[in-house]
Amino acid sequence: MAEESKPTAAVPTVRWDDSQMQTRYSNVVNVTSTREEVSLFFGTNRTWNPSGNTFDVTLHDRVILNPFAAKRLMLLLGNVLREYESRFGELKVLAQPRPEGPTPIQ
């Protein structure tokens, strides 16, 4: 009996078009969500000499993702950070307490 050959699915090729890409530096990120979307806010902390508990953050970009894209981003970032820490050592980040009250909807 002859062995049947199964068709193999072609792996798609992705061509990244970076002709309109911009680069920005962020040292602050915040996230809000609704059932339909996850919003990431990127900014820069410009408080060089803080007085009290007030910090000035200039928000410059917002990225809105659907929950599936947000989950893929979470997995990709987790992989990148595991690789980073295996090369350069553990990153120690202090957890900030969540503010009381509902999450703001943008």
The chain-wide mean pLDDT, for the chain, equals: 87
Give the model's confidence band at 100: pLDDT under 50 very low, under 70 low, under 90 confident, else very high. low
Domain assignment of residue 35, yes or no:
yes
Q: What total of structural domains would you count in the chain?
A: 1
Domain assignment of residue 13, yes or no:
no
Sheet holding 38-45, edge to edge: 28-33, 38-45, 57-65
Q: Is 100 helix (H, G, I), strand (E, B) or coil?
A: coil
Domain assignment of residue 2, yes or no:
no
Tokens encoding 37: 């979307």
Domain assignment of residue 5, yes or no:
no
Contacts of 73 (CB under 8 A, 6+ apart): 65
User: Which has more pLDDT, 94 or 61?
Assistant: 61
Q: Is residue 66 predicted with pLDDT exceeding 90?
A: yes
Q: Is residue 69 predicted with pLDDT exceeding 90?
A: yes
Q: Which residues form the domain of 33?
A: 28-47+55-88
